[in-house]
Amino acid sequence: MKLKKSIKQKLLLIAGMLTITLAQLMTHYIDLQDGIIGILSGLGIGLLLGSFFQKKQKPTI
């Protein structure tokens, strides 16, 4: 169970980083779609924070 959780956390972390990177790249090319970029970066930050706080929690038995 611990192995699966750590893999899931790493996938969440990677997904969050990719989402933020994608949003930052989009801002360079597209200036009109600020709403979509905001949502994407918000999701990315949310995923990063979520994976960070999952590590802090004590495992429940």
Residue 60 has pLDDT above 60, yes or no: no
Number of Cβ within a 10 Å radius of residue 1 = 6
pLDDT tens for residues 42-57?
Answer: 777 777 777 777 666 5
Report whether 48 contacts 20 (CB < 8 A): yes
Phi, psi of 59 (to 5 degrees): -65, 135
> What is the C-alpha separation between 39 and 4, in angstroms, rounded?
28
Domain residue extents for the chain: 14-55
Q: How many residues does the chain have?
A: 61
Q: What is the pTM of this model?
A: 0.39
Tokens of 30: 């597209």
